Amino acid sequence: MRRWTSIDLSKVECKIGGDMGDYDAISVLARFKDALGVDRYKAIRKLFRRTTFSARIGMLTALDAWLDADLEIGDGDPHQTSVLVAGHNLNSNYIFELIKQFLDEPEYIDAMAGVEAIDSNIPGIIAEALELKGPSFALGGACASGNLALRDGFRDIMSGDCTRSVVCGPPFDVSPADIQASTIINAVVIKPEYQDRPEEASRPFDVDRCGFLYSHGAATLILENLDSALERGVHIYGEVLGVSAGSNANHLPMPGVEDQERVMLELFRQSGVEPGEVNYVNCHATGTPAGDLQEIRAIKSVFGKNARNLRINAPKSMLGHTCWASPLVETVGGLLQMKYGELHPTINIQSLDPEIDLDVVLEPRDFQIDLMLKNSFGFGGINCCSLIKRYEAAK
């Protein structure tokens, strides 16, 4: 967390967040040159040079995930892999700058704006880079978008429509106007004392929590059926047991305990898992006064006495709110904790809210996650939760 430099927040009270606007994507792409081959690397580099920040970073994570899964571009039937991109309004700052240029001199807007500005360009450009021809589209559901994309990818595979799915959460290219709009509704951190101490400002579960911080972030997961993964002998990070979604029937950013409960319970019903089998919750926990409490109340209601046996943490305390990508970014964090048998802390808790009386991880802790619940609750009353199990090879 730091003061934003890639966007001008001189007129906005909240001046801090997770700014990756100066990220050198071209240099990072060069790391994949040998794996891609010279011709393909040049073609993808050309795509990089003309596309948007959000598409560029999303494509980097998709390439990284694809290669990490020991896949080569052109592997298998391209029609059997879907490309699902989490989010909407992904190019918001790009469009904001286009409008400024249009108002100054219309002839000088980006010549490719009609293609690059729209969300569908991002799944399109990832599909082009990976040479995939299966279903390809974006799914918008605010901060639940990443889990909604995971849900569609899971369904593609379970239905047999696809063998594999690229589930990508690109960064939300947030604009000054977006942050100002969230300032007006008191959703982000505007307290003056934190503008000079940005690393302390994101404080889920703390009694002094006062909002979230917008943050750039991206992640991609490769989903596939188990036989396909075993055939290649690749590392399996976890097994998706189910993803469930629902809504509050309320378009305002007001979390609802009962509707969050319902989604969790439906997830357990669909997957055949008992709540007592879960031992870790990767919380949505944005750091808003109401949102954090609503989530904890829902967890307590669903898990009952077993809630005391859960370990929980809040990734946004360190990452800020990576918005539409956050369920995928935080799932990657959860899977890595699962892999290495260590939980990351929830930082910036000086005084834990007394109603949040569960086992919140405050320091790094050795712990083996067996079954992870990942919560995501978006503006517009959109709720989506996933269950991911540690993979154990059959003996």
Give the domain CATH number at 78.
3.40.47.10
Residue 215 near residue 319 (C-beta atoms within 8 A): yes
How far, in whole angstroms, is CA 199 from its chain's centroid? 20
3-state secondary structure 279-315: CEEECCCCCCHHHHHHHHHHHHHHHHHHHHHCEEECC
> CA distances (Å), 358 to each of 91, 268, 281, 307, 354, in order?
38, 21, 11, 7, 10
Asked whether residue 286 falls in the same domain as residue 371, the answer is: yes
Cα separation, 148 vs 164, whole angstroms:
16
Asked whether residue 221 falls in the same domain as residue 278, the answer is: no
Asked whether residue 173 falls in the same domain as residue 250, the answer is: no
Helical H segments across 306-370, by residue range: 316-319, 326-340
The per-residue pLDDT for 144 is: 98
* Overall pTM > 0.85: yes
Q: Which of 143, 162, 168, 384 is catalytic?
A: 143
Cα separation, 141 vs 139, whole angstroms:
7
**Domain tally, the chain:** 2
Asked whether residue 63 falls in the same domain as residue 15, the answer is: yes
Q: Which position has the token pair 């060069």?
A: 30
Asked whether residue 259 falls in the same domain as residue 142, the answer is: no
Residue 35 lies in a domain: yes
Residue type, 334: G
Residues 6+ apart with CB under 8 A from 351: 206, 207, 208
Q: Tell me the torsion sign for CA atoms 336, 338, 344, 345.
A: positive
Residue 343 lies in a domain: yes
The per-residue pLDDT for 251 is: 76
HSE (side-chain half, CA atoms, 13 Å) at 346: 28
Residue 294, token pair as written in the block: 């609503």
Look over the chain and give the mean of its residue pLDDT values, rounded to a whole number: 96
The per-residue pLDDT for 16 is: 98
Structural domain that includes position 273: 239-389
Residue 200 lies in a domain: no
Residue 149 near residue 183 (C-beta atoms within 8 A): no
The per-residue pLDDT for 18 is: 98
Asked whether residue 156 falls in the same domain as residue 255, the answer is: no
Helical H segments across 160-205, by residue range: 176-184, 192-195
Residue 191 lies in a domain: no
Could you tell me which residues are beta bridge partners of residue 215?
A: 18
Q: Which of 14, 283, 284, 344 is catalytic?
A: 284
Please, what is the Cα angle at 172 between 167 and 175, to 5 degrees?
170
Asked whether residue 225 falls in the same domain as residue 248, the answer is: no
Residue 198 lies in a domain: no
Q: What is the DSSP letter of 379?
A: T
Residue 44 near residue 29 (C-beta atoms within 8 A): yes
Residues of the chain with pLDDT under 50: none
Residue 298 near residue 260 (C-beta atoms within 8 A): yes
Residue 23 lies in a domain: yes
The per-residue pLDDT for 395 is: 67
Residue 47 lies in a domain: yes
> CA distances (Å), 355 to each of 289, 294, 325, in order?
12, 11, 29
Asked whether residue 347 falls in the same domain as residue 286, the answer is: yes
Residue 215 Ramachandran class (φ > 0 left, ψ -120 to 50 alpha, else beta)? beta
The rounded percent of the chain whose pLDDT value lies above 70 is: 99
How far, in whole angstroms, is CA 87 from its chain's centroid? 9
Q: Is 143 a catalytic residue?
A: yes
Residue 323 lies in a domain: yes
The per-residue pLDDT for 256 is: 81
Asked whether residue 169 falls in the same domain as residue 255, the answer is: no
The per-residue pLDDT for 249 is: 82
Q: Is 284 a catalytic residue?
A: yes
Residue 48: helix, strand or coil by DSSP? helix
Asked whether residue 374 falls in the same domain as residue 286, the answer is: yes
Residue 392, token pair as written in the block: 């154990």
Cα separation, 84 vs 167, whole angstroms:
5
Asked whether residue 216 falls in the same domain as residue 268, the answer is: no
Q: Which of 168, 216, 321, 385 is catalytic?
A: 321
Asked whether residue 109 falls in the same domain as residue 57, the answer is: yes
